[in-house]
C-alpha cells in the first residue's frame, strides 16, 4: 500500500479560504476512504478541528521539520494544498503542488512580487505535478512561470453548504431586507464599492462578514461614515458556520465585487442557497459564476445599482431561478474534486 501525505497545515486558520479548503479537502478524502492508498495528514498542533478516523494517520508539524524534511514515515507522494507550503517533502518523495492564485502579482510591491515569484518558481521546479483550482489560475501560471515539461491539471474546488436546516433571519436586522457579502477585509475585496450603492436602495441593509480589524477595514468604516450609512451597514467580523449559512439563506442578493480571486467559494455558497449572485468581471469569477451569475461592468454606484435592480426584477419573474441556481452550484462538489485527486494520486504512485 502506498503512503500519501497531505499538508493541511492551513487548518490553523479556519476563518480563511485556505483553512476551509484544507479542512473540507481532508473531510472529503476521509469520507471517500480509498482502500488502495494510506492517507497521512500533516497539521499544526494548535489547529482546532474535528477529524477522527482510525484508518488515517495524523502528523503534528513542528518548526524544525518545517525547514528540514525529517519525518519518520516514508511517503511515496506528498500533496501540498497551497502554492507556498508550510513544509517540504524529502528529496526522494514525489510532490503535487496545488496553486490557488497569483494574487501577489496584484497586491504586492515590486520587491515582494520578485520575492514571491522566485519562491513559487522554486516550488514549481520541485514539484512533480501541478494542479490549479481554475482555468484562469492555470493561464496565469503558464504566462508567468517556467514549467519545464510539466503540464497543469485544472481541478475545481469542492464547495459544501448545508441549507437543509431551518435558518432564521438574523435577529439584529429586525426583519429588514439586506444584501450580503463575506471575506477577509483587504483591498482586493473591493467592499467599499458597495457602500454608496445603498443610497439607491433606501429599504435595504448591507451586511459584511469577515475580519474587519485591518487597514482596509478602517478604510471601509470611513466610507460608511462619509456616506452617513452607519445605521444601515453592518460589519459582523468573523461569523460561525451556522451564522454564515443563515446570512446566505435570508439575503436578497449576494454581492461580490472582488478584484482578484483564484476561484471564489462564497459565490458558489450563495448559489447553493438559490440566491442571485452579483460579481465583478475580474480574474476567475466569470469562469466560476458562469451564466448563472450577474456581472458588474462598472464600479460606479449608479450603474451597479441599476444592474442589481434590473436583474432582481428578472429573478422575481422567473419561478425556476432558485432551482436552476442550486443545480448549477451542485456542479462544484467535493465528490468530483476528490475523485480527480485520487485518480492523480494513483497515477503518480
| Residue ranges of domains in the chain | 2-158+333-348, 171-329
Q: What is the pLDDT of residue 269?
A: 97
Topology of domain 2-158+333-348 in CATH is: Rossmann fold (3.40.50)
Q: What is the pLDDT of residue 41?
A: 87
Q: What is the pLDDT of residue 74?
A: 82
Topology of domain 171-329 in CATH is: Rossmann fold (3.40.50)
Q: Please determine whether the domains at 2-158+333-348 and 171-329 fall in the same fold group of CATH.
A: yes
Q: What is the pLDDT of residue 316?
A: 96
**Residue 216, burial from CB neighbour count under 10 angstroms (0-12, 13-18, 19+):** middle
Helix or strand or coil: residue 4?
Answer: strand
Q: What is the pLDDT of residue 51?
A: 65
With residue 77 as reference, give the H or E element that holds it: strand 77-80
What are the pLDDT digits (tens) for 186-207? Answer: 999 999 999 999 999 999 999 9
CA-CA distance, 186 to 184, in Å (whole number)? 6
What are the pLDDT digits (tens) for 153-196? Answer: 999 999 998 898 878 888 899 999 999 999 989 999 999 999 99
Cell (9 digits) for 218: 478602517
Cell (9 digits) for 24: 473540507
User: Which residue stretches of the chain have pLDDT < 70?
Assistant: 45-56, 58, 62-73
Amino acid at each position: 500500500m502506498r503512503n500519501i501525505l497531505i499538508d493541511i497545515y492551513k487548518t490553523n486558520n479556519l476563518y480563511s479560504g485556505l483553512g476551509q479548503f484544507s479542512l473540507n479537502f481532508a473531510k472529503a478524502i476521509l469520507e471517500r476512504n480509498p482502500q488502495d492508498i494510506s492517507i497521512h495528514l500533516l497539521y499544526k498542533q494548535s489547529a482546532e478541528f474535528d477529524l477522527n478516523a482510525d484508518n488515517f494517520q495524523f502528523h503534528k508539524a513542528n518548526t524544525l521539520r518545517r525547514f528540514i524534511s525529517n519525518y519518520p514515515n516514508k511517503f511515496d507522494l506528498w500533496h501540498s494544498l497551497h502554492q507556498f507550503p508550510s513544509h517540504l517533502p524529502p528529496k526522494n518523495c514525489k510532490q503535487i503542488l496545488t496553486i490557488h492564485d497569483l494574487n501577489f502579482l496584484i497586491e504586492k510591491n515590486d520587491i515582494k512580487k520578485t520575492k514571491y515569484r522566485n519562491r513559487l518558481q522554486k516550488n514549481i521546479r520541485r514539484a512533480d505535478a501541478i494542479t490549479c483550482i481554475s482555468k484562469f489560475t492555470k493561464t496565469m501560471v503558464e504566462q508567468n512561470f517556467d514549467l519545464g515539461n510539466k503540464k497543469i491539471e485544472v481541478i475545481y474546488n469542492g464547495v459544501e453548504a448545508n441549507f437543509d436546516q431551518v435558518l432564521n433571519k438574523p435577529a439584529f436586522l429586525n426583519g429588514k431586507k439586506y444584501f450580503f457579502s463575506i471575506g477577509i477585509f483587504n483591498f482586493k475585496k473591493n467592499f467599499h464599492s458597495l457602500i454608496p450603492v445603498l443610497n439607491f436602495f433606501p429599504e435595504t441593509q448591507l451586511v459584511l462578514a469577515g475580519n474587519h480589524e485591518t487597514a482596509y477595514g478602517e478604510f471601509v468604516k470611513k466610507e460608511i461614515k462619509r456616506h452617513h450609512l452607519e445605521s444601515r451597514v453592518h460589519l459582523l467580523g468573523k461569523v460561525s458556520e451556522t451564522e454564515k449559512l443563515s446570512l446566505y439563506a435570508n439575503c436578497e442578493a449576494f454581492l461580490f465585487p472582488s478584484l482578484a480571486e483564484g476561484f471564489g467559494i462564497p459565490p458558489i455558497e450563495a448559489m447553493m442557497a438559490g440566491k442571485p449572485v452579483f460579481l465583478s468581471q475580474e480574474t476567475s469569477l466569470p469562469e466560476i459564476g458562469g451564466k448563472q451569475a450577474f456581472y458588474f461592468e462598472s464600479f460606479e454606484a449608479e450603474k451597479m445599482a441599476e444592474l442589481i435592480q434590473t436583474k432582481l426584477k428578472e429573478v422575481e419573474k422567473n419561478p425556476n431561478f432558485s432551482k436552476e441556481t442550486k443545480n448549477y452550484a451542485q456542479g462544484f462538489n467535493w465528490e468530483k474534486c476528490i475523485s480527480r485527486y485520487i485518480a492523480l494520486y494513483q497515477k503518480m504512485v
